[in-house]
Amino acid sequence: MLTKIQTLNTEFLQAIENIKDQKQLEDLRIVYLSRNGSIASLFEELKNVPKEEKPLLGKELNRLRNLAEEKFAEKKSEFEKLLTKKSQQIDLTLPGRKVELGHKHLLTQTLDEIKSIFKGLGFSIFEGPELESDYYNFEALNFPADHPARDMQDTFFVNKNFLLRTHTSPVQVRLMEKLQPPLRAIMPGKVYRNEAISSRSHCMFHQVEGLCVDTDITFAELKGTLVAFTKQFYGKDLNYRFRPSFFPFTEPSAEMDITCFLCKGKGCRVCKHSGWLEILGCGMVDPNVFDYAKYDNEKYTGYAFGMGIERTAMLKYGITDIRTFFENDVRFLKQF
């Protein structure tokens, strides 16, 4: 029995020295240290040896088992350290990782371009609160009390007197309350409408409102300003037209169309086969609005205009679904 223990001890030490990887180490554990391994078998044989020999043989068997477990643990730790070291090494032969820089969202790019053009035309930039009062959003802009835009179907009311602004026009009134003419400004920002979300409409979008007030301002100046903007933003080759329209805070009012740059005026699905695309609404400021701002409507005249940023970007870049702007699809964002 003692000879078997000594032989097994020699075999184990030789075997563990020749181990090259973790798989071989696990195989060695199964042969020597498992429940059915060689060392466990010797402990079974110990039951059959004479009583007087058991203390010595038991001591040697325990020494063999402890030695085997210690050597196994050392070898296992050695492999784990080697594996950790390899995982931390940098392979200088690998190609470098491309660092992709972020960029502005398409709506921000469009808004920045619009701001830049109007700043070049002499306009300042002002902003106002998105939570607005009924007075500034409707009443001071000459909306009658029974106007449909006051209905809950169109407006997000917070309470009886406050709402999420439905357009950036309230900033016009706030601006006129603070400044005396002459003034020339644009007012960009988010607006909110209680509408069903679809490919052509959304409950939240962006607008740019424009206002110019001075003595002797005419509709011809309004047209000249908007034509100058349109040709810089959309291109010089496009035709344009102004159509009569209605807005409570301007009189006379008009809408501006440009020839569809997708079909070149021939008619397509985007322009509803008319050959024209509506880009903004405009008009001369109604004298009643000047009264709210305490401007002398006999002395001063002015014009105002407004456009949606999403619609403007959709027209320029051929985007057919407004929801695309808000989905954060990386494939879409990388195109711009």
The pLDDT of residue 128 is above 70:
yes
Average pLDDT for residues 104-121, to the nearest whole number? 95
Give residue limits of the domains in the chain.
Answer: 2-88, 106-333
- In the prediction, which pLDDT does 86 show? 62
* CA-wise closest residue to 242 among 251, 254, 226, 260: 254
Long-range contacts at 317-325 (CB < 8 A, ≥ 24 apart): 317/106, 318/262, 318/270, 320/199, 320/270, 321/199, 322/198, 322/199, 322/200, 322/201, 322/202, 322/205, 323/197, 323/198, 323/199, 323/202, 325/105, 325/106, 325/107
336 — pLDDT class (breaks 50, 70, 90): confident
Average pLDDT for residues 15-26, to the nearest whole number? 82
Q: Per mean pLDDT, which of 6-20, 81-95, 112-126 is the most reliable?
A: 112-126
- In the prediction, which pLDDT does 319 show? 87
Q: What does each C-alpha distance from 228 to 3, 128, 235, 291 come to in angstroms?
A: 106, 26, 10, 30
Task: Give residue-wise pLDDT tens across range 57-66.
Answer: 778 878 878 8
| % the chain with pLDDT above 70 | 96
The pLDDT of residue 107 is above 90:
yes
Q: Per mean pLDDT, which of 35-39, 59-63, 115-119 is the most reliable?
A: 115-119
188 — pLDDT class (breaks 50, 70, 90): very high
Other beta carbons within 10 Å of 38: 16
Higher-pLDDT residue of 51 and 227 is 227
149 — pLDDT class (breaks 50, 70, 90): low
The pLDDT of residue 27 is above 70:
yes
Place of tokens 């709402």: 163
Q: By mean pLDDT, which of 52-56, 102-106, 291-295 is the weakest?
A: 52-56
177 — pLDDT class (breaks 50, 70, 90): very high
The pLDDT mean for the chain works out to: 87
What is the separation, in whole angstroms, between the first and last Cα of the chain? 82
Average pLDDT for residues 215-239, to the nearest whole number? 92
274 — pLDDT class (breaks 50, 70, 90): confident
Query: What homologous superfamily is domain 106-333 in, according to CATH?
Result: Bira Bifunctional Protein; Domain 2 (3.30.930.10)
Average pLDDT for residues 297-314, to the nearest whole number? 93
Average pLDDT for residues 123-128, to the nearest whole number? 95
Place of tokens 């920045």: 112
The pLDDT of residue 32 is above 90:
no
- In the prediction, which pLDDT does 88 show? 61
Average pLDDT for residues 54-58, to the nearest whole number? 78
- In the prediction, which pLDDT does 152 show? 60
The pLDDT of residue 268 is above 80:
no
Higher-pLDDT residue of 97 and 287 is 287
- Rounded CA-CA distance 46/39 in Å is 11
